[in-house]
């Protein structure tokens, strides 16, 4: 890093935000942190030289060159930016840059820009720059970042963006492009997480050896990045957590809201959203999103996937005398493949509708958590068919097999 690194204010020191801010400090940037949770600020101050803390957004952005926002949602972001007494926008120096890393609706990016102009700050540079990759990659500076905005503004912020990223995607189309790309990726993520939970729930109640099913499925064409990542904690709770239920529920809600605004149907993702809402209703919001599997298990056997890891049962569950007949790991494989095909149809159809370059989207998804073997194998063929499944040979074969199983 250059001797005189630009000054940065960073708001939102949660699981990912803290790692991002700490990595910037370690890389030589002076960073002033802000968070409403005081223990997060106290922890950040221990990062050493270059780390400081502020009590308000207004105080945090004083004399900084860049203001990075990584709060949970737009509800938190609005007062952060525009609170009359403590908001950041009015206190930023002339021509400062706001880097919006939070996942928000594309329309909210436009709102930030328009409201900044209304309060007399048309000089502020704004970059729409959502991130993906989780807390570990945030701390390592290897996130995937989807940056959009004026070309000169993105170039001006390149050193900061590259410091936080392993892959920096520059999304064409101006402000909102980055958020649109992130939402398309999250369609895959939202569907695949739900599918991974449903697959293992079905394996458990069908009396199968859940570990054997996992190994077979991850070695098959049904595998997805989320399946490989989310199932191990179901098999062994001691492995810890990856991502809270509230995060994927929030992202999916933004996508379905955006799709309704555009009158574009996303039936599969909308079904997944109802599962996430059920999990939140049950009070599981702070838990890892792999706890969604509990929706498919008897209430007294919430750990059934783990207890049947290496130990198949002869009947489905203790609470049912009706085992699930004719369900094999191949049946579950076919269900997963069918769902993954439908996910490609929904996500890429919406991608084209929003005007995002499909080749760029392939690069993003295939290198990130939304990837699946179905996506890699069927992308080109489905694209030639306008993302429809009509005439897709493997889809027709799977339908026939599932009808026979049912």
Q: What string of H, E and C letters represents the secondary structure of 145-193?
A: EEEECCHHHHHHCHHHHHHHEEEEEECCCCCCHHHHHHHHHHHHHHHHH
Which among 346, 363, 375, 355 is positioned nearest to 146, based on CA atoms?
363
Q: 3-class DSSP state for residue 128?
A: strand
pLDDT value of position 394: 86
Average pLDDT of 314-326? 49
* Helix or strand (DSSP H, E) at 31: strand 31-34
Name the pLDDT band for 104 (thresholds 50, 70, 90): very high
Q: How far apart are the first and last CA of the chain?
A: 61
Among candidate residues 7, 58, 180, 182, the one labeled active-site is: 182
Spatial neighbors of 64 by CB under 8 A, at least 6 apart, are 6, 7, 8, 9, 32, 92, 93, 96
pLDDT of residue 314: 52
Residue labelled with tokens 């410091």: 163
pLDDT value at 393 more than 90: no
Q: For this structure, is 151 an active site residue?
A: no
pLDDT at 317 over 90: no
Widest pairwise Cα distance in the chain: 71
Angle of CA points 232, 255, 390, to nearest 5°: 80
Compute the C-alpha angle 166/171/177, nearest 5°. Answer: 120
Nearest to 111 by CA among 147, 77, 65: 77
Q: How far apart are CA 398 and CA 340, in angstroms?
A: 12
> b/e per residue, 295-318, with b = 16+ CB within 10 A?
bbbeeebeebbbebbeebbeebbe
- Tabulate helix, strand, coil % of the chain (nearest 5): 55, 10, 35
How buried is residue 380: exposed, middle or buried, by Cβ count under 10 Å (0-12/13-18/19+)? exposed
DSSP state, 355? T
- Percent of the chain whose pLDDT exceeds 90: 87
pLDDT at 39: 97
Instruction: Work out the average pLDDT over 186-191.
Output: 98
pLDDT (tens digit, 9 = 90+) per residue, 202-213?
Answer: 999 999 999 999
CA distance 373 to 377: 6
Among 10-24, 276-290, 386-400, name the one with the lowest average pLDDT: 386-400
Walk across the sheet containing 31-34 and list its strands.
51-53, 31-34, 8-11, 66-69, 97-100, 125-128
Residue 165 sits at φ, ψ, to 5 deg, of -120, 150
Question: pLDDT-based confidence at 386, cuts 50/70/90?
Answer: very high
Interval 257-264 mean pLDDT: 97
How confident is the model over 55-86, as pLDDT tens digits?
Answer: 999 999 999 999 999 999 999 999 999 998 89
Report d(CA 245, CA 286) in Å as an integer: 6
For residue 2, the model assigns a pLDDT of 46
Q: CB burial class (10 A; 0-12, 13-18, 19+) of residue 61? A: buried
Tokens of 61: 């952005």
Element (H, E) at 24: helix 15-26
Q: How far apart are CA 211 and CA 196, in angstroms?
A: 13
Helices marked H in 236-367: 245-261, 267-281, 304-307, 329-354, 358-366
Q: In what order do the strands lie in the sheet with 143-147?
A: 131-132, 143-147, 165-170
For the chain, give the mean pLDDT.
94
């Amino acid at each position: 890093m250059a001797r005189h690194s630009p000054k940065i204010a960073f708001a939102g020191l949660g699981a990912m935000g803290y790692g991002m801010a700490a990595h910037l400090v370690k890389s030589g940037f002076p960073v002033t942190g802000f968070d409403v949770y005081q223990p997060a600020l106290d922890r950040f101050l221990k990062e050493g030289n270059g780390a400081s803390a502020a009590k308000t957004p207004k105080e945090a952005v004083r004399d900084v060159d860049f203001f990075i926002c990584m709060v949970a949602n737009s509800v938190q972001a609005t007062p952060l930016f525009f609170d009359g007494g403590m908001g950041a926008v009015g206190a930023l120096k002339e021509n400062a840059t706001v880097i919006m890393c939070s996942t928000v609706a594309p329309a909210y990016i436009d709102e930030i820009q328009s409201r900044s102009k209304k309060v007399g700050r048309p000089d502020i540079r704004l970059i729409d720059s959502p991130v993906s990759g989780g807390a570990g990659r945030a701390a390592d500076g290897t996130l995937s970042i989807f940056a959009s905005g004026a070309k000169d503004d993105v170039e001006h912020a390149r050193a900061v963006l590259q410091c936080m990223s392993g892959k920096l995607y520059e999304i064409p189309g101006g402000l909102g492009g980055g958020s649109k790309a992130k939402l398309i990726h999250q369609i895959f993520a939202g569907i695949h997480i739900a599918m991974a939970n449903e697959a293992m729930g079905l394996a458990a109640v069908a009396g199968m050896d859940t570990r054997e099913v996992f190994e077979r499925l991850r070695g098959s064409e049904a595998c997805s990045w989320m399946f490989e990542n989310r199932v191990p904690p179901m098999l062994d709770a001691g492995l810890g957590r990856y991502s809270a239920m509230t995060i994927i529920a929030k992202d999916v809600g933004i996508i379905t809201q955006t799709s309704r605004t555009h009158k574009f149907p996303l039936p599969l993702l909308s079904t997944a959203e109802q599962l996430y809402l059920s999990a939140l209703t049950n009070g599981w919001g702070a838990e890892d999103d792999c706890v969604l599997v509990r929706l498919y298990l008897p209430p007294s056997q919430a750990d059934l996937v783990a207890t049947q890891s290496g130990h198949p049962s002869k009947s489905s569950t203790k609470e049912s005398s009706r085992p699930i007949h004719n369900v094999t790991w191949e049946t579950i494989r076919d269900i997963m493949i069918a769902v993954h095909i439908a996910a490609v149809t929904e996500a890429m159809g919406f991608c084209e509708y929003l005007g995002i370059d499909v080749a760029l989207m392939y690069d993003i998804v295939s290198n990130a958590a939304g990837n699946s073997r179905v996506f890699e194998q069927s992308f080109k063929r489905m694209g030639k068919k306008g993302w429809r499944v009509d005439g897709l040979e493997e889809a027709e074969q799977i339908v026939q097999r599932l009808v026979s199983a049912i």
